[in-house]
């Protein structure tokens, strides 16, 4: 059975170990299926790129435990090897509990745990730390062994190995100080693979580190793929069949094109989003606002996922055709769905990292500037009827952003948001053709959302060819 790679805390080396194993497997010509616990976009992008297979998120809080099990067995059983990378610390879940944690997912799926310990400033104390994680619970975990990260020397290695031997915990390998293991990051996590210009070289180094530094004889049995579930079908169609309320008929006679912002500014999207769109009769079409592309002619809806628009604010402001087409689509009744970073494109102005304001599409009445961190799971209750929600419906989502809105016009808001340690508040915009919010949703946990989008797209008037591609737009302030 596959293992779950966990750690005492974020930054310990879970992703580094996962990448080393994925790079080694690919060099061996083996198909390794990666999974990631929790609401993460950046680690999965790296794991997808290095393994050659789409990384799948396993998040029981966003998608429910049955989806987690079905997705794990469906995708994992179709590969030669499989691994699950955990999230944060092993027992970190919603608030102070272990609900939705790596430990909870390991317990649900019956996975052994490989604990990655950042050991640069430890010797014998590593035994106390590992013993604590091995014996802590609930939920109980089955510790298969430890991989030590940032081991400084052979002497340091020997000290740590003897400490683990004293508590009868297998040492499965060490990751030394090495330039390829220093992954750059920014305010929302690791750099995406498209910005790691030496990724191919790093992959070779990671594969070689796996050979030289990891005990592959002990680790390989921990990468065995799960068995297929007898009679279980594709989890995408399973969740559509079992959604509540029932699927809304789109009335379409063929796939309807949906423009999805897809570039360096907008790339926080779960792979299931595109799969669900196709399953309900929509055809995703990549569209780059950064390249100032016109919206695809005939598109019946626009999806603006999260990402880093704040890092590209000046270039987005210069994309006159894209912004004008977006405003034209909103005015023409084309369905617009925006979450987190995508929301920022719809505002009036967006501040870059230096605080300079840049003009955006002007569909919604706000400015956005860097502010405090908003992070955590949220219970979202719909406050009014709109494009994708009905009053009183509840969904589980996740919030993670550092930019905040200013000059927001008063209104009822899309959601009432509740979460551990946060005040209840209203948030977002909803209208017959607009759904815009900070909240990230995993549509496998709320498949009524893409089905309602399909129904709205079928009713929408197709967007005609842009008539404003050369029209002047006021310069960014």
The residues annotated as belonging to the active site are 340
Enumerate residues 6+ apart whose C-beta is below 8 A from 57.
35, 36, 37, 38, 39, 40, 44, 63, 270, 442
Helix (DSSP H) and strand (DSSP E) numbers for the chain:
15, 23
Handedness of CA 40, 43, 275, 108 (dihedral sign): negative
Enumerate residues 6+ apart whose C-beta is below 8 A from 278.
255, 284
Any idea what the Cα angle at residue 40 is, between residues 38 and 44, rounded to 5°?
110
Phi-psi region at 362: left, alpha or beta (left = phi > 0; alpha = psi -120 to 50)? left
- Residue whose tokens read 């992703």: 15
279 and 237 Cβ atoms separated by less than 8 Å: yes
Q: Is 170 exposed, middle or buried (0-12, 13-18, 19+ CB in 10 A)?
A: middle
89 and 38 Cβ atoms separated by less than 8 Å: no
- Residue whose tokens read 């990655």: 116
Peptide bond into 235 cis (omega under 30): no
Enumerate residues 6+ apart whose C-beta is below 8 A from 445.
59, 62, 63, 64, 67, 395, 396
> Strand runs (DSSP E) across 73-133, as ranges?
81-85, 113-118
Q: Is 28 exposed, middle or buried (0-12, 13-18, 19+ CB in 10 A)?
A: middle
User: CA-CA distances (angstroms) from residue 434 to 350, 391, 431, 452, 456?
Assistant: 19, 15, 5, 12, 11
350 and 316 Cβ atoms separated by less than 8 Å: yes
């Amino acid at each position: 059975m596959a293992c779950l790679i966990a750690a005492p805390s974020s930054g310990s080396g879970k992703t580094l170990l996962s990448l080393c194993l994925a790079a080694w497997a690919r060099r061996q010509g083996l198909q390794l299926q990666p999974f990631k616990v929790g609401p993460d976009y950046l680690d999965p992008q790296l794991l997808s790129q290095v393994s050659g297979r789409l990384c799948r998120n396993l998040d029981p809080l966003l998608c429910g435990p049955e989806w987690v099990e079905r997705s794990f067995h469906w995708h994992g059983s179709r590969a030669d090897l499989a691994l699950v990378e955990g999230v944060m610390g092993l027992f970190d879940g919603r608030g102070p509990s272990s609900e939705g944690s790596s430990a909870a997912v390991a317990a649900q799926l019956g996975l052994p745990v490989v604990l990655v310990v950042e050991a640069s400033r430890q010797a014998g104390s590593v035994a106390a730390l590992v013993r604590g994680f091995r014996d802590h619970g609930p939920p109980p975990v089955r510790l298969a062994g430890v991989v030590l990260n940032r081991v400084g020397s052979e002497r340091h290695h020997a000290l740590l190995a003897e400490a683990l031997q004293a508590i009868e915990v297998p040492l499965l390998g060490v990751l030394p100080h090495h330039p390829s293991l220093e992954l750059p990051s920014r305010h929302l996590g690791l750099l995406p693979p498209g910005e790691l210009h030496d990724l191919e070289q790093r992959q070779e180094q990671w594969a070689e580190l796996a050979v030289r530094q990891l005990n592959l004889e002990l680790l390989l049995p921990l990468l065995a793929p799960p068995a297929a579930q007898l009679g279980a079908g594709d989890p995408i169609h399973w969740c559509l069949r079992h959604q509540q309320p029932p699927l809304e008929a789109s009335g379409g006679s063929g796939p309807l094109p949906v423009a999805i912002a897809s570039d360096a500014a907008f790339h926080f999207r779960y792979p299931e989003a595109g799969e669900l769109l196709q399953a309900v009769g929509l055809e995703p079409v990549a569209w780059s606002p950064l390249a100032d592309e016109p919206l695809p002619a005939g598109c019946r809806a626009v999806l603006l996922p999260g990402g880093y628009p704040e890092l590209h604010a000046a270039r987005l402001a210069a994309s006159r055709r894209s912004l004008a087409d977006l405003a034209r689509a909103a005015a023409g009744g084309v369905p617009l769905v925006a979450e987190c970073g995508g929301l920022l494109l719809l505002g009036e102005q967006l501040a870059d990292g230096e605080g300079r304001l840049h003009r955006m599409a002007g569909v919604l009445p706000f400015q956005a500037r860097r502010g405090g961190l908003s992070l955590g799971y949220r219970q979202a209750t719909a406050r009014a009827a709109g494009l994708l929600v009905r009053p009183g419906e509840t969904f589980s989502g996740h919030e993670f952003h550092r930019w905040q809105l200013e000059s927001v016009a008063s209104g009822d808001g899309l959601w009432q948001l509740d979460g551990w340690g946060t005040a209840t508040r209203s948030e977002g915009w909803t209208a017959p053709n607009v759904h815009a919010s900070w909240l990230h949703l995993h549509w496998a946990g709320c498949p009524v959302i893409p089905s309602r989008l399909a129904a709205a797209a079928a009713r929408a008037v197709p967007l005609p060819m842009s008539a404003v591609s050369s029209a002047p737009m006021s310069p960014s302030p």
